[in-house]
Structure 1
């Protein structure tokens, strides 16, 4: 097995040793500065809720953040952003479309909220070339089964556009997080190409079972297997190898960059040290993402 990296500076050499020219990160957050600052403030205040600080690792301006991604060998990445109230998503989508057009490597990302206009602006975003959507049930405080979203899920399923869905209960559960609720969405839209963020943390087992029932479902490993993640919400290690091997072609790398409580290299090492072999790692870090976006110019 290729030795795991210890620092961000070692990442390009690590990809080369794996036989990769670079990687695809499906869980990068890029958003307007004012919103980004609000997100950082939320995590700065999260310590009392979690019982430990959440030290944001990459609190830099946008230019520096993008430069760091490229220096680390991240060739393609999402620009995940999300609303927390009505009448916000359409404006975020306009910002994200312009940002992606000006930013090599950034997948055109969009989002939504349960409101009367949701289906219309989601359709417009798809027609404008959106490659991936973000749904954050926890921050939005909404029910993903809301009838105002039924057509949205249907549009994404019909178009085959993936949605990175934060539907697990970490870091703070709501009445609408968890596999039972999202399972009802998948029952209505079984072809929805959902990427369950954070492997469904902390309800890992329930979301894995959803994945077994719905072959279109994928998972990202964002925050999982790191020391920070294991201290709060450990993935059952006795089952990890079997589960991750079984779902190997549906596991995608994600980092939560820039609002991560650990370094990028630590997230990469946490995945590498699962000791599932270089072929599995090549799939997770790059090849599985290219089955979703085969036309990426990397």
Structure 2
């Protein structure tokens, strides 16, 4: 976390602007902060940016979930020799995977990942995937590689982070086209995000976003604690869309509760 915070404090190359972090406490304090907000379950999403790092992060995530009952067991993987083996081994326990192609500097269609993607597709475990080009585009970001990945593994259960910002329309289209592809709301619609690389969400897409959410395919995301505003700003931004209480209830509770208890996820077996 110290290294992550240093990147944001220095407005590193994948951030591109000042990012005054609102929450800087130790893990135990951050957990109590979420509890004080009424959060009942949450993810602690790791992601690797170099070889021989993913399994270190996975061990940490397993330990964190073991001592924090509200935390889903999370994991990550990286294009490296042996990736399919450790993904297969961890599939019995991991409830949510996280992949960040911008930070990891790899493309989702990297041949080293193909067998691992097949394992993840077969198990049906959700993957929170940051593949949109916000806040700073790279050669690895954008909807094209994700479309290619889904053409090869159409049963992948992807949750597109940040609603795919700024390629909102393209990622919305993928979520509509593929049964197991969804979006999360992380930072989207907030004033801070709209002023930077995420851009404003196109108003003409909101009716389709409403339908997608009511269909179980939009999930609340926050990026807590690496956010430059109070946690409630995200919730206020969603309410301001005026898509209705039923949509808010689905996005903020029902959809993710169903996702974390869907067939094929370890959560379903462990929590009944």
Provide TM-score, normalisation by structure 1.
0.84
Shift of 1:238: 2.1
Change (3 A) 1:50 1:161: closer
Give the match for residue 25 of structure 1: none
Structure 1 contact 204–235 (Cα < 8 Å) conserved? no
Give the match for residue 288 of structure 1: 255
Structure 1 portions without partners, runs of 5+: 1-35
Inter-partner Cα distance in structure 1 for 2:117 and 2:40: 28
Deviations 1:171-218 (A, max 9, x none): 221111100111111111111000000001111111111112212101
Equivalent residue for 1:275, pick from 239, 242, 263: 242
How do 1:56-95 residues align onto structure 2 when only pairs under 5 Å count? 56-95=21-60
Equivalent residue for 1:264, pick from 231, 234, 239: 231
Structure 2 contact 175–217 (Cα < 8 Å) conserved? no
Inter-partner Cα distance in structure 2 for 1:47 and 1:278: 38
Structure 1 contact 96–108 (Cα < 8 Å) conserved? yes
How do 1:1-298 residues align onto structure 2 when only pairs under 5 Å count? 36-46=1-11, 52-127=17-92, 129-232=93-196, 233-248=198-213, 249-294=216-261, 295=268
Q: Which has the higher contact order (CA 8 A, sep 6+)?
A: 1
Deviations 1:131-171 (A, max 9, x none): 01000101000111011101111111100100000101112
Structure 2 portions without partners, runs of 5+: 262-267
Structure 2 contact 131–164 (Cα < 8 Å) conserved? yes
Inter-partner Cα distance in structure 2 for 1:223 and 1:268: 10
Deviations 1:80-100 (A, max 9, x none): 011110001111111111211
Give the match for residue 265 of structure 2: none
Question: How many residues are aligned here?
Answer: 262
